[in-house]
Amino acid sequence: MIERRKNIRAKKNIPLKLADTAFDIITETVDISSSGVYCRVTRNLVPMSKIEVVLLIPGKDASSPTRKIRCKGVVVRTEPAIIKYADKAHYNIAIFFTDISKKDQKIAEDYVASGNLDPAEIQISQ
């Protein structure tokens, strides 16, 4: 199989807020790249939904500040999770960043590529 992904992604749990005029969802990433995130939510967000995204990127060490990334995105994939108990039901969604500043994209890229990551957590992203 030919790998089509262009950006490195990392399996990291980072605080994440998703919002539009009808809702605010607080969750965390399953993985992140400089072009988008994959996360779990308790609400069905249909593909092509436009949303506001806020990420809290940890500093490189204890003396580095947490950085807030604000951008816009679009849901490109939604997968309902099949689980035994309905009260724990969720959806796995992929969000592509459609409007992110070069500065914020660089913050995400640097975080994903940083030496703080275990090589097993790094993957190539679309």
What are the boundaries of each domain within the chain?
Answer: 12-113
**Interval 41-61 mean pLDDT:** 92
* Closest-CA residue to 38 (of 81, 4, 85): 81
Give the pLDDT band (50/70/90) at residue 86: low
Higher pLDDT, 6 or 54: 54
Mean pLDDT of the chain: 85
Higher pLDDT, 35 or 117: 35
SS3 25: strand
Question: What is the model's pTM?
Answer: 0.82
Give the CATH number of domain 12-113.
2.40.10.220
Read off the pLDDT of residues 56-74 as tens digits, 9 standing for 90 and up.
999 887 788 999 999 999 9
Determine the pLDDT at residue 62. 78
**What is the separation, in whole angstroms, between the first and last Cα of the chain?**
14
Determine the pLDDT at residue 115. 53
pLDDT above 50 (res 3): no
DSSP type of residue 101: -
Please return the burial class of 28, using the count of CB atoms within 10 Å of its CB with bins 0-12, 13-18 and 19+: middle
